[in-house]
Structure formats: structure tokens, C-alpha cells
Amino acid sequence: MTEQAGQVIFTRGGQAESIHRVHVAVVDRSGRVVARCGDPALVTFPRSSSKPVQALPLALSEPELPGDELALACASHAGTKEHLAVAERLLARSGSTLGDLRCGTHPPFDPAAAADLIRRGEAPTPLHHNCSGKHAGMLLACLRNGWPREGYTEPEHPLQVRIRELHAELGGVPLDDVRGGTDGCSVPAFALPLHGAARIFARLAAPTGTLAPALERVFRAMTAHPFLIAGPGRLDTTLMPLVPGLAAKMGAEAFYGMALRQTPHGPLGVAFKVQDGGERARPHVALAVLAALGGPVTEELRALAPRVLHNWAGREVGTVEVEVPLKWA
């Protein structure tokens, strides 16, 4: 890594307390890296920011799927009633049941939904898992493609083989450079250079080639259903309605992908990673990048990444300083 990483600095009493390092890649419709901060070749895992790619076999094989169900297949949802209702509908479409889901179980991300479960004395089910929509969508893609439901999460399953190829194809990197790991929900997670992930989002921003109709369906589903993509107060949900032509997707460990259709530089794909996985830095980096790419930074946008920090008693205790300068190619 030759370039200086960006930084998001949490201060207290005018003194730096904690510092997050950040790497950013911005790619145009031709696939060229046009701007960067830090190391655009950093190899890392998009994690759930891969969901728009993971939903492509579904979008290709089920072109008439309702937009809300396709959105939920791209989501890291918060487990509210609205999310569960769509997940159930998508799961039923392939004749699958809860027992077919291999995502595992965790309490809903939404604190109100989690508290509600506790009050009712109920345990969470695999449907509450933030990836249940992706998994339900994968089961349907298997059915439509004539692939076995059995083993749909395994790296050698035709669905996962295809998803890995799509990462290479859309990311513009050799297949051998798409390295496999296992995600939190047990499907393969693929690592690739940051510029490759940005290229995937550039393709969502400006679909071309044989995949264009499916990419377009995914883009439209995500932007039409920002609530389903994440949930109450979560960044994708709050950011997308404020930025025209933006499809955005969070990934675990503070990854972020943005497909921007309307910038002064034309359609762009953005990917960034907070090196330490610190999720709290993400909204600050997202806003800094949007501003650097020429977007208007409104009060509503600024409210998504407050620069003044308060304590439990509501007193001001510090600030957030954002140093994420984009270097243009």
C-alpha cells in the first residue's frame, strides 16, 4: 500500500481518542478507477455488499418476481414484521419452508423487534436472520434453474459457482482472484480487490451486456424498496431516498457499496472499507465520498452522520473529524 489511508477520527475534549483507517475505490462506467483514497487494490470481503450479485441468478431466472421480494433477496434486513412478511412470501414461492433455510438464527437487528420477541417470550427463527431473504431467493433460483435445493450454501453447488463467476465477470478480475471464505450465514463470501467491488456497483449504475436486464431489475428493486434493504434508522434505508439514483448496500465489517446513476462525472460505482471493521465510521465516509463526487450535501444527509457526539446524559463530549480526500486519476 503506497497511498495514505483516509481517516475518521473520534475526538473527546479536543483530543483524538480513536482513529479508523479507510480505503476507497471509485470506478466509472468503463470500469476505470477514476478516484481513490488509500489502497484501491486492497483485497477484502464485500460480505453483504455482494447481495446484489448473489441475487442475479434469481433476477435472471424469475423475471416477473415482485420488486419487494427481489429487494428482500438483496437485503440485510432488520427482522421487522414488514421484512418477515416479504421473506415468508418469497420462501413459499419455491415451496420451501423454514427448515430449508441454512442461514442460522440471530435476534432481529431492529431493537424494537428484538424487544418485542423478548416480551412475547419467543425465540428468533431463521426468518429473523438478516439474510433470510437472500436465502429464500437462492432456494427459488435453484428451483428455476433445475439445481438441487440440497447443499445450496456449499461452494461447489452450481448456484455458488455461478455467483463466484459473476463476481469475476462484473468485477473485471480473473476468477482466480476471487477468493472464497464462508459468510456469517454459511454461503460463500468472496474476497476481491476494492476496485473490483466498485466495478460491480458501476455495472449496477450503468448496466450493459447480457446481464443488463437483470442488473436493471436489481437496481430498481433496491431503490424502490429502501426500507426492505435494511430497516429503521439503518444507513441504506435512510440514505437511498436522499440521493436520487443511488442503490447502496452495507456489508459486515464496515464495507460499503454504492451505485450512483446521477453524478457530474456520469454513472459511478463506489466501494469502501473501514480497515478495522468499525461500522460507526461508515456513514461519515459515505457522506464524504458523496460530497467529493459532487453531490449536494443537504441538512438531511448531514443528519445521517452527526459530527457532534453526546453521552448518555445528552452532554456534548466530542466530535467526528473526517479526512477522506479522494485523489482523482
Q: Are the beta carbons of 219 and 244 closer than 8 angstroms?
A: no
CB 152, min distance to its own copies, A: 13
13 binds its own copies (CB under 8 A): yes
Report CA-CA distances (Å) from 185 to 80, 128, 299, 319. 19, 12, 36, 35
CB 233, min distance to its own copies, A: 17
CB neighbourhood size of 97 (10 A): 10
CB 104, min distance to its own copies, A: 3
Tell me the per-residue interface mask from 256 to 295 with its own copies, x by CB under 8 A, - otherwise: -------------------xxxx-----------------
Q: Are the beta carbons of 251 and 236 closer than 8 angstroms?
A: no
CB 175, min distance to its own copies, A: 15
4 binds its own copies (CB under 8 A): no
92 binds its own copies (CB under 8 A): no
Can you tell me whether residue 161 is helix, strand or coil?
helix
Which of the 8 DSSP states describes residue 154? S
314 binds its own copies (CB under 8 A): yes
Our measurement of the distance from residue 100's CA atom to the centroid of its chain's CA atoms, rounded to an integer in Å, reads: 24
Among 29, 36, 77, 102, binds its own copies (CB under 8 A): 102
Name the amino acid, one letter, at 52. P
CB neighbourhood size of 73 (10 A): 32
Burial class (CB in 10 A: 0-12, 13-18, 19+), 177: middle
CB 284, min distance to its own copies, A: 13
For its own copies, give the closer residue by CB, 124 or 158.
124
Pairing assessment for the beta strands 15-28 and 316-323 based on DSSP bridges? unpaired
Tell me the per-residue interface mask from 117 to 146 with its own copies, x by CB under 8 A, - otherwise: -xx-x-------x-----------------
224 binds its own copies (CB under 8 A): no
181 binds its own copies (CB under 8 A): yes
Among 15, 123, 146, 299, binds its own copies (CB under 8 A): 15
308 binds its own copies (CB under 8 A): no
Burial class (CB in 10 A: 0-12, 13-18, 19+), 43: middle
CB 140, min distance to its own copies, A: 20
Region from 37-45, 48-56, 58-66, 69-77 binding its own copies, contact rule CB under 8 A: 37-45
Taking phi over 0 as left and psi of -120 to 50 as alpha, with beta for the rest, 172 belongs to: left
Element (H, E) at 255: strand 255-260
164 binds its own copies (CB under 8 A): no
327 binds its own copies (CB under 8 A): no
Q: Work out whether the CA dihedral 154, 145, 73, 199 comes out positive or negative.
A: positive
Q: How many residues bind its own copies (CB under 8 A)?
A: 48
Which of the 8 DSSP states describes residue 232? T
Residues in contact with its own copies by CB under 8 A are 10, 12-21, 43-45, 102-106, 115, 118-119, 121, 129, 179-186, 189, 191, 253-254, 275-278, 311-318
